[in-house]
Structure 1
Amino acid sequence: MTASADLSALLPGYTTGTWTIDPVHSEVAFTVRHLGIAKVRGRFDTFEGTLTTTDAPEASSVIATIDTASVSTGNAQRDEHVRGEDFLHVEAHPAMTFASTGVRVEDGEGFIDGELTLRGVTRPVTLAVELNGFGTGMGGKPAVGFSATTEISRADFGVTGGAAGAAVSDKIKITLDVEANQN
């Protein structure tokens, strides 16, 4: 069985085309441990991206940009610290980007491999992907939805946290829930 056949079987209703992420119906979120005992959650409120699905699903691609200054954790003081030089350093690095390098299936699970750039450092990451489905969106246009997760090491991207870094885990879980509309 070919890779395309493997992927097609996992993608009921698969539709080719170019899709724009709908930020109103999508979320880019993260979770990090504080003091090793509590989980602190946050999200980025401003982001954009494009998905391109092709006849061969494994040749499909994703490009996304996230406005780092749009970070929100529900606490204004913490948000300002996260925006600062210790963490995201948004003044020098106003965006983080993701560009896929491949789509694959292993043991019936979907993955998108790509490169994440954060604080000017680019590292490979793999997103575990769950297709939520293809359907009809607002205005009758085709829409697609998916969820994805990955875990990164903040140290790999030069995010030290300064003096507060010792209280925050190195591992950050990233969760995406995306709806995109066909152009």
Structure 2
Amino acid sequence: MTSMAADRVTIPAAGDYRIDPARTTVSFATRHLFGLAPVRGTFQLRDGHIQVTEPVADSSARAVIAASTFHTGLPARDTHVRGPAYLDAERHPAIVFASTGLEQVEGRWMLRGSLTVRDRTCPLDLRVEELTAGPTLTLRATTWVDRYAFGITAMKGMTGRRLTLTLSVTATRT
């Protein structure tokens, strides 16, 4: 293991790690009603893995989120967002993040990659806020997603364009 000062990050030993869906959360925050009201919710991770390599810059991660698990606690909204106007979860059941590498930018670790939503893939960088290694690997990362980039443009103005995502990941070495 290597300890890095940036962002409370400790690089774990090289190896393969399986992300534990039961101990991982994907939460989001956005706004609606012309930006006046906050909306918070979650998605469930279906599966994922992290491969830590030497050099660490070549490390990779892949995570699959079940689109049908969009949850804000308001059943009517949740059903509508899972439907054709937004996620179209029936036709596009998976939201997939696949990394292309890890690098340090201005003292912060960035996991570079792409996000695929509704069969549209766009670049996405995750800012690694915390990474600890021990018997398990724990990671907290944040990013924001522009839904328009994925062709999800329903209810412009009423529904927030950008979502802030926070991932809290727990993985075990395989």
What do the CA deviations read for 1:11-33 (whole angstroms, capped 9, x no partner)?
53621110111112110111111
Distance between the aligned counterparts of 2:88 and 2:10, measured in 1?
A: 42
Query: Which amino acid in structure 2 is aligned with residue 173 of structure 1?
Result: T
What do the CA deviations read for 1:86-140 (whole angstroms, capped 9, x no partner)?
110111111110110111001221001101000110000111002331012xxxx
- Greater displacement, 109-118 / 37-46: 37-46
Contact 2:138 2:169 in 1 (8 A): yes
1:150 and 2:159 matched: no
**5+ residue gaps, structure 2:** none
What count of residue pairs does the alignment treat as equivalent? 169
Aligned partner of 1:59 in structure 2 is 58
Percent of pairs with identical residues: 37
Structure 1 or 2: more strand by fraction:
2
| Structure 2 counterparts to residues 13-52 of structure 1, below 5 A | 14-35=12-33, 36-52=35-51
Aligned partner of 1:117 in structure 2 is 116
**5+ residue gaps, structure 1:** 1-6, 137-142
Distance between the aligned counterparts of 1:27 and 1:130, measured in 2?
A: 15
- What is the RMSD of the two structures over their aligned residues, measured on CA atoms? 1.5
Structure 1 or 2: more helix by fraction:
1
Aligned partner of 2:4 in structure 1 is 9
Aligned partner of 2:171 in structure 1 is 180
1:166 and 2:161 matched: no
Q: TM-score, normalised by structure 1?
A: 0.87
Distance between the aligned counterparts of 2:164 and 2:27, measured in 1?
A: 8
Contact 2:115 2:124 in 1 (8 A): yes
Q: CA 1:157 to 1:91, structure 2 compared with 1: closer, same or farther past 3 Å?
A: same
Distance between the aligned counterparts of 1:119 and 1:159, measured in 2?
A: 9
Q: TM-score, normalised by structure 2?
A: 0.91
Distance between the aligned counterparts of 1:41 and 1:156, measured in 2?
A: 21
